[in-house]
Structure 1
């Protein structure tokens, strides 16, 4: 069954093309920007033998220190089974270890190892030239402006009133 939709409304429909004026345009642009940035990050991580999902956990561990697995899942947007697989991978590689949480026999905290810190630092070094290539089409000051705007957009509650 097809709906009779007037053709004059097509100008406001989401197209995912530059200049799209639909209410979905911003989300579609952010999705496309994410894909592009994620591809660059994946390229930087590939020679190190890890994926973005592994690096996302390492970022949380560097930022927060030892973190309970359920909190890692929430912080990385991963489900419970997914975070277990990622932590298993990191443990196999010697990049993280699980430790008992005092007072909670069921919980395990994940901690980054010295090898994990080394890999984390190596990933940053590998990503620098690739990130420069990612923003090469922007003008002077625009990479910083884009970062500032996206930070405000992504963390609205963190702004001071």
Structure 2
């Protein structure tokens, strides 16, 4: 660097380290938190033979009931081919079934089976000790506060629903 050139300000560059003050800091922290939480969830799912992508679909099916594949793709952030593979996997395991939609022979709705509901409930039981470990470093009341803040951040004004 020559003496007549001012040094570049590097204080606001993204570093992905604690204390990052860049405009990307929040997004980078959320990504890292997601990786950590997804790792814990995957640990809970692994013994039951499913992955996060499968569980994401089961969550939607339990919440909404029978759901068209295109709507599952939108709800889970998947693409058309990806959701087809996940539903294929769930069908092979007997956890979901595709059913014709009255009035449209081309469209299929996906429905969770009783075995799917049973697995869904088993995942929740298996996840309890892992979820507790995930927030073990937080002070009493902080897990609830973190959930409240993330809910407001993720859903905005709709977070009251």
When normalised by structure 1's length, the TM-score is 0.94
Match of 2:140 in 1: 140
Q: 1:154 to 1:6 in 2, by over 3 A?
A: farther
Tell me the CA shift for residue 6 of structure 1: 5.8
Within 2, Cα distance between the matches of 1:143 and 1:106? 45
After the TM superposition, list the runs of 4 or more consecutive aligned residues in structure 1 that deviate by more than 6 angstroms: none
Within 1, Cα distance between the matches of 2:19 and 2:82? 37
Tell me the CA shift for residue 9 of structure 1: 1.2
Match of 2:91 in 1: 91
Gap regions ≥5 residues in structure 1: none
Deviations 1:29-82 (A, max 9, x none): 000000000000000000000000000000000000000000000000000000
Aligned residues: 156
What's the RMSD between the two structures over aligned residues? 1.2
Q: 1:47 to 1:68 in 2, by over 3 A?
A: same
1:66-145 paired onto structure 2 within 5 Å: 66-145=66-145
Gap regions ≥5 residues in structure 2: none
1:18-97 paired onto structure 2 within 5 Å: 18-97=18-97
When normalised by structure 2's length, the TM-score is 0.94
